Structure 1
C-alpha cells in the first residue's frame, strides 16, 4: 500500500464521522498500531483534515494514547512483553539503552517500529507517569515533522530522503549513552556443570 493510498483511505474514514472527526481521529491513532499503518500516514492525514496546528495536537494526543494502550497491553499480557523484550535483545542487543534524544530521533524515522520504540521508553521509565511523560515528549517532534512537512516529504527525491534518514541515524549515534551497565550475574555467567 502506497503512502498516497493509505492517506486517502484514512481521510475517507475520518471525514465520514462529521462532527466527531477529532475524536475519531484520536481513536484511529490508538488502533493504528493494530492495523499496521505507519504513524506518518495518519499524521499526514491529520494535517490535511484539520490543518497543521490542530492536526499536530490531535496526533500528539492520539499517539500518546497509543503509547498508553501499549503500556497496559504489556502489563495485561506479560508473555507478550517477554517476547517483545527478546525481539528487542535480538535486534538491538540486550544492553542497548537509548537516550531521550535518541528515542525522539527514532520516532522521526517512519519505518522504525512504533512498539519497539515504546518498549525502549518502557525500559527507561519504570513508572507509568514517567512513561507517559516521555512518550508525550518524544511524540512532539515526529508529529510536527510529519504533519507540517508531510506533503513535501512525499514529493522529495529519494536521494534527499535517504540523506535525511542517514543524517538521523548519525544523530542517533552521536546522542547515544556512552556507558553500559551490566548486572554482575550477567557479566560473570557461570557455566553449568
Structure 2
C-alpha cells in the first residue's frame, strides 16, 4: 500500500493549485487500489491542514459514495458479494440509523463500503442515499483529517492524550457495537 500512497502524495504536494483536485480524484481511485479511507483522510490533514483537508476529504468521500452507488447499479455481482460481506460484518440485520452509521464510520476496522451498502439498501433512491452519505461522511472527514493535521504538529503530551482517547474510544465502540449487532 505504501508503494501507492507515497508517490501519489508527492505528486499532490508538487501539483500546486491543482493539488486539491488531484487529492479529491485520489479519493475516487482509492477504491480500486484498496487503500483505506482513513489513510487518505489523514494524508489530507498532512497536506492541506485541518480545515481545507476536511473540505477536500468530504468532497472526495461524497464522490466516492456516488461512484459506489453507480458501480453497484451497473454490476449486480458486486451487489451480491457486498451483501455476503455485510452479513459477516453486521451478523444480523440491525436497525441502524444514519447517526449510528456515522459513528461506525469512525471505527477504523469497519469497512467503509459495507456501511455505504447498508445505507444504500435502506434508501429508496439515490437522492436519499446521497443525503445519508452526506451526514455519514462529515464526521469521518473532519475527525481523520484533523487527526492527520494533529499528528503533523504533535508533541509528546499530545501523543499520550490522543493515544489514551483512542484506546478509550475503541473499547467503548467495541462494547456498543457488540450490543447493537447482537440484537
User: Which interval holds the TM-score relative to the shorter structure?
Assistant: 0.7 to 0.9
CA RMSD of aligned residues (A): 2.8
Correspondence for 1:47 among 41, 45, 48: 45
Aligned counterpart, 2:74: 76
Aligned counterpart, 2:114: 116
Aligned counterpart, 2:55: 57
Correspondence for 2:172 among 162, 167, 179: 167
Aligned counterpart, 2:29: 31
How far apart are residue 19 of structure 1 and its match? 2.2
Deviates more, 1:100-109 or 1:85-94: 85-94
- Say if 1:127 and 1:160 are closer, same or farther in 2 by CA, change over 3 A: same
How many residues end up aligned between the 2 structures? 176
Aligned counterpart, 1:99: 97
Aligned counterpart, 1:146: 144
How far apart are residue 49 of structure 1 and its match? 1.5
SS of equivalent residue, structure 2 residue 96: coil
Highest relative contact order (Cα 8 Å, sep 6+), 1 or 2?
A: 2
TM-score under structure 1 length normalisation: 0.78
How far apart are residue 124 of structure 1 and its match? 1.8
Tell me the distance in 2 between the aligned counterparts of 1:40 and 1:90. Answer: 21
TM-score under structure 2 length normalisation: 0.82
Deviates more, 1:69-78 or 1:13-22: 13-22
How far apart are residue 109 of structure 1 and its match? 1.3
After superposition, the C-alpha distances for 1:15-40 in whole angstroms (9 at most, x for unaligned) are 23222111111110111121111112
- Say if 1:76 and 1:6 are closer, same or farther in 2 by CA, change over 3 A: closer
SS of equivalent residue, structure 1 residue 112: coil
Gaps of 5+ in 1: 180-193
